[in-house]
């Protein structure tokens, strides 16, 4: 089983293609400056690191270009997109709605959108990556993995800030586990 793992930023796309049978990273890379004239891809296979200058205007075009590198006879690691069994997406914020990884459906996508105000720089970019994968690789299972799900077992007395409780109730301001020291 091979899984393509993506971390979509507003102008970047980090990826790894992992063979889950032996947990070997087959290829990894970073597409930077998406939407700018000087965008480029750094693609690494084994010890070989390659750089491709390629202007792309959006995440969908970036993913298509990445797939072409993964399929390349010269520096690729798969012969067909059919070898990719699923796609995992790193999502920064799932709020209290998402406490574990989930298969992305229309409802899940709406839930991720509802959490945009909790991660306005990150969640919109993740949605761009998800939508690009739906367009470029239709029918593939896409899974959302949330940073906020990692510490869902924090007790309430630890995740509530010492501010008026109404801010937690209204805005869901609380600790989610990241950016905190564990003592």
Reported pTM: 0.89
Average pLDDT of span 78-93: 96
Which three-class secondary structure state does DSSP give residue 94? Answer: coil
Q: Domain coordinates of the chain in residue numbers? A: 1-149, 155-183
Angle, alpha carbons 143-84-23 (nearest 5°): 80
Q: Are 42 and 30 in contact (CB under 8 A)?
A: yes
Q: Per the residue annotation, which of 22, 82, 106, 147 is the catalytic one?
A: 147
Selected from 3.40.50.980, 3.40.50.720, 3.30.420.40, 3.40.50.1110, the CATH number assigned to the domain covering 1-149 reads 3.30.420.40
The tens digit of pLDDT for each residue in 23-81 reads 999 999 999 999 999 999 999 999 999 999 999 999 999 999 999 999 999 999 999 99
Query: Cβ(30)–Cβ(43) under 8 Å?
Result: no
What is the per-residue pLDDT for 90? 96
Q: Is the pLDDT of residue 15 over 90?
A: yes
Per the CB < 8 A criterion, the answer to whether 63 and 72 are in contact is no
For residues 145-166, average pLDDT: 86
pLDDT the model gives residue 37: 94
CA distance 131 to 24: 27
**Strand 48-53 relative to strand 40-45, pairing:** antiparallel
Q: What percent of the chain has pLDDT over 70?
A: 96
**Predicted pLDDT of residue 179:** 55
Catalytic residue list contains 82: no
Whether the CB-CB separation of 138 and 88 falls below 8 Å is answered with no
Q: Residue 182: which pLDDT band, with cuts at 50, 70 and 90?
A: very low
């Amino acid at each position: 089983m091979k899984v393509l793992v993506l971390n979509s930023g507003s102008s970047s796309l980090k990826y790894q293609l992992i063979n889950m049978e032996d947990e070997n990273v087959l290829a990894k890379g970073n597409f930077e400056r998406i939407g700018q004239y000087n965008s480029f891809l750094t693609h690494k296979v084994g010890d070989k690191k390659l750089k491709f200058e390629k202007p792309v205007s959006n995440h969908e075009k970036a993913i298509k270009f990445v797939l072409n590198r993964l399929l390349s006879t010269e520096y690729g690691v798969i012969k067909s997109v059919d070898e990719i069994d699923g796609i995992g997406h790193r999502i920064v914020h799932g709020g209290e709605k998402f406490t574990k990884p989930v298969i992305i459906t229309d409802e899940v996508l709406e839930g991720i959108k509802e959490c945009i105000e909790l991660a306005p720089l990150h969640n919109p970019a993740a949605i761009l990556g998800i939508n690009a994968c739906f367009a470029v690789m239709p029918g593939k299972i896409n899974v959302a993995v949330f940073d906020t799900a990692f510490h869902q077992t924090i007790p309430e007395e630890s995740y509530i800030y010492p501010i008026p409780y109404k801010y937690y109730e209204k805005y869901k301001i609380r600790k989610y586990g990241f950016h905190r020291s564990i003592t």
